[in-house]
Structure 1
Amino acid sequence: MAFSNDQSRRVRSAVVVVLLIAVISIAAVVLFGGVPAAPKGDAPAGSAQRHAGVQQEGQADGHTMADVDASYGAAAQQLRAKYDANPADPSTLLNLANGYFDWGATAMTHTQGAEDEQHVTDLFNEAIGYYDRYLAEHPGSKSAEVDRAVSIFYAGDRAKAVDTLEAFVAADADFGPAWANLGMFYEADGRVEDARTAYGRAIEADAQNTYNARAYAQQRLDALDGAPAGSSER
């Protein structure tokens, strides 16, 4: 079930939503608790609007946005009640942040128009709010900082997301998931050479593949091999 303790125990920041960017599109593969895992859904890098064919693929699991919301929404309500009863429990606060992240990521694969896309943005903004509260109480949580940056990216402020992870790696160059997600941000924005550099740093930082950042970064470098070099300028 979403928002569960089992969910919070998994390593989240190893490229939290596994993104397979094919030239101009992003495919999100999401682990989903209450509803079976949704299939890949492609979104053009420069637009939140999905192609019609991809929308159909995103619905191939037989579930609708209403199903997604029913599963995550009920669990979120229970967890909010738990947090309200004991706001000193940091694990519940982090579960809320992570749960809204997963809710938004899963909802991305079930969008069918502007209203659904705004709903996804709202969910990621909820995640950001809970990450902010968690980090205010527990500064220095690397995984939460990276997950927050990814939430910002999917809430639509790509420039801020890039700035956030660039500042992170400038202060701490040894956390592989930060480099891997920064590479994903660059690749989505067409900054291919910057993406290659970031993926290379992810491989170095996560040499033992502890966070799956090395495997993901190598996958992306292999996919980029032979791709036209992009400008490293914004």
Structure 2
Amino acid sequence: MAGKTVAKAGRQESPRQAPKKRERKPGELSRFQKVVIVLFIIVFALSTLAGALASVFQGQQTQTADQSQEDVTIESLDEDYQPVISDLEAKVAENAEDTASLLALGRYYFSWGASVAQLAQVDSETSHANELLGKAVEYYDRYLELEDSDAARVDRALCFYYEGDTTTALNDLEEITQSSPDYAPAWANLGMLYEVRGDTDSAKSAYQKAAELDPDDEYNAKTFAEQRLDAIAQSEADAEAQESLGTGDITSTTGSIGDDLSSVTGTGL
């Protein structure tokens, strides 16, 4: 299954005419929450890639992750990803059944689109992100016509999430866990989306399943799931304590996902 960048305030704006600020909808993730989820997705994605493709993809992600927050803009992302995309699309133009290139295109468009979505400040930038994610879905579909891959199906589902269609993303992940009930990354990602949505009971069930199915931590699903279960348990205990004392609000478990992911991915967000 399955990047990683976040821009600081003060990044250079692109030359657009008085763009309208996009307001965050109720329940929509903050930019930071989106960032940490992308990190987890990319970790799972890298675990499924083979040979040269894995090293190429990982190298691109490492380069992006090493950039300072001030350096990363939508324009710089476009400049970084476009040459790689163009080379891969040229290969697919020569051989429409080049599965390695089709999969790589799905992965790169997904990472590119999700990264742009993290930085999007105005509607035109969100549209750009959604266009890239739509291309990712197209290439995943072409790949899946030739090869069966649970990892590609999971990434495809998450593209819809970043387009803002959480319902489709959840439905697709639920279908994957039904058709491939032993695939731990699907359960881990499903739990993550449940948690972000506020469905804690379903999140706990999915995390428990992910940990059970990945006993050797092959996909990093066990570690991640156990960390999230611990965080949820702590949050619930804190909530009970606060309720008994009749004091303030409790920080949601979703807000702490980044802390766990920083240790899982080694990015230190």
TM range (shorter): 0.7 to 0.9
User: Which of the numbers 198, 204, 209 marks the counterpart of 1:201?
Assistant: 209
In 2, the alpha carbon distance for the partners of 1:163 and 1:63 equals 33
- Of Structure 1 and Structure 2, the greater helix share is in 2
In 2, the alpha carbon distance for the partners of 1:160 and 1:95 equals 23
In 2, the alpha carbon distance for the partners of 1:226 and 1:108 equals 31
In 1, the alpha carbon distance for the partners of 2:172 and 2:197 equals 15
Matched, 1:106 2:115: yes
Question: Residues 170 and 189 (structure 1 numbering): CA distance in 2 closer, same or farther, change over 3 Å?
Answer: same
**Cα displacement (A) at 1:161:** 1.0
The gaps in structure 1 that reach 5 residues or longer are: 1-12, 19-23, 40-58
Q: SS state of the match for residue 33, structure 1? A: helix
Amino acid in the other structure paired with 1:195? A
**Cα displacement (A) at 1:27:** 4.3
Over alpha carbons, which structure has the higher Rg? 2
1:36 corresponds to? 64
**Cα displacement (A) at 1:124:** 1.2
2:220 corresponds to? 212
Q: What are the within-5 Å matches in structure 2 for residues 16-27 of structure 1? A: 16=2, 26-27=33-34
**Cα displacement (A) at 1:38:** 6.8
| CA deviation vs aligned residue, 1:127-182 (integer Å, no higher than 9, x gap) | 111111111122x3111111111112112211111111111112221110000000
In 2, the alpha carbon distance for the partners of 1:227 and 1:194 equals 16
In 2, the alpha carbon distance for the partners of 1:218 and 1:111 equals 32
TM-score (norm 2): 0.65
Q: SS state of the match for residue 152, structure 1? A: helix
Q: Please say if residues 91 and 98 of structure 2, whose CA atoms lie closer than 8 Å, have aligned partners that are also in contact.
A: no
In 2, the alpha carbon distance for the partners of 1:160 and 1:38 equals 33
Q: Please say if residues 177 and 187 of structure 2, whose CA atoms lie closer than 8 Å, have aligned partners that are also in contact.
A: yes
Q: Equivalent pairs: percent with the same residue?
A: 36
1:147 corresponds to? 155
Q: Please say if residues 180 and 213 of structure 1, whose CA atoms lie closer than 8 Å, have aligned partners that are also in contact.
A: yes
| CA deviation vs aligned residue, 1:69-117 (integer Å, no higher than 9, x gap) | 0110121111101110111211011111011011112223322222212
- Of Structure 1 and Structure 2, the greater strand share is in 1
In 1, the alpha carbon distance for the partners of 2:64 and 2:156 equals 25
2:185 corresponds to? 177
In 1, the alpha carbon distance for the partners of 2:3 and 2:64 equals 16
In 1, the alpha carbon distance for the partners of 2:120 and 2:189 equals 23
Q: SS state of the match for residue 28, structure 1? A: helix
Q: What are the within-5 Å matches in structure 2 for residues 62-211 of structure 1? A: 62-138=71-147, 140-211=148-219
In 2, the alpha carbon distance for the partners of 1:128 and 1:160 equals 13
Count residues with an aligned counterpart: 191
Amino acid in the other structure paired with 2:125? D
Amino acid in the other structure paired with 2:72? H
Greater shift after overlay, 217-226 or 79-88?
217-226
Q: Give the CA RMSD over aligned residues.
A: 2.4
Q: Please say if residues 196 and 221 of structure 1, whose CA atoms lie closer than 8 Å, have aligned partners that are also in contact.
A: yes
| CA deviation vs aligned residue, 1:13-59 (integer Å, no higher than 9, x gap) | 1xx168xxxxx7524244672753178xxxxxxxxxxxxxxxxxxx8
| CA deviation vs aligned residue, 1:186-224 (integer Å, no higher than 9, x gap) | 111111110011001000011111011111111211221
